[in-house]
């Protein structure tokens, strides 16, 4: 299993919190780029799509609600 597959498996399990780096890399794998960070919020952009904002907890973790939005956005289910 590749590192990318392991990241996807962790996100699809929808834990209470996930590592921000996993979310960032999954978005990059699907053509999104980090546009800006302000405080605890990171904004990702992709041509032809609305910006996707992710809020971090303690600077490193992403809550489950954002993981659900990510799964819907990327049609991973």
* Spatial contact of 40 and 55, defined as CB atoms under 8 Å apart: yes
* CA–CA distance, 38 with 13 (Å, rounded to integer): 28
* CA–CA distance, 20 with 37 (Å, rounded to integer): 13
- Domain 3-74: CATH architecture, name and number where available: 2-Layer Sandwich (3.30)
Spans of all domains in the chain: 3-74
pLDDT score of 10 more than 80:
yes
Question: Which tokens is 58 given?
Answer: 């303690």
pLDDT score of 66 more than 80:
yes
For the segment 69-73, the average pLDDT, to the nearest whole number, is 95
Q: pTM (2 decimals)?
A: 0.90
pLDDT in tens, 20-61: 999 999 999 999 999 999 999 999 999 999 999 999 988 799
């Amino acid at each position: 299993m590749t590192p990318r597959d392991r990241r996807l498996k962790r996100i699809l399990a929808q834990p209470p919190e996930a590592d921000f780096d996993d979310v960032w890399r999954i978005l990059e794998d699907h053509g999104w780029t980090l546009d800006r960070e302000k405080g605890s919020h990171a904004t990702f952009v992709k041509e032809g799509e609305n910006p996707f904002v992710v809020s971090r907890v303690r600077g490193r973790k992403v809550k489950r609600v954002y993981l659900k939005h990510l799964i819907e956005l990327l049609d991973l289910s």
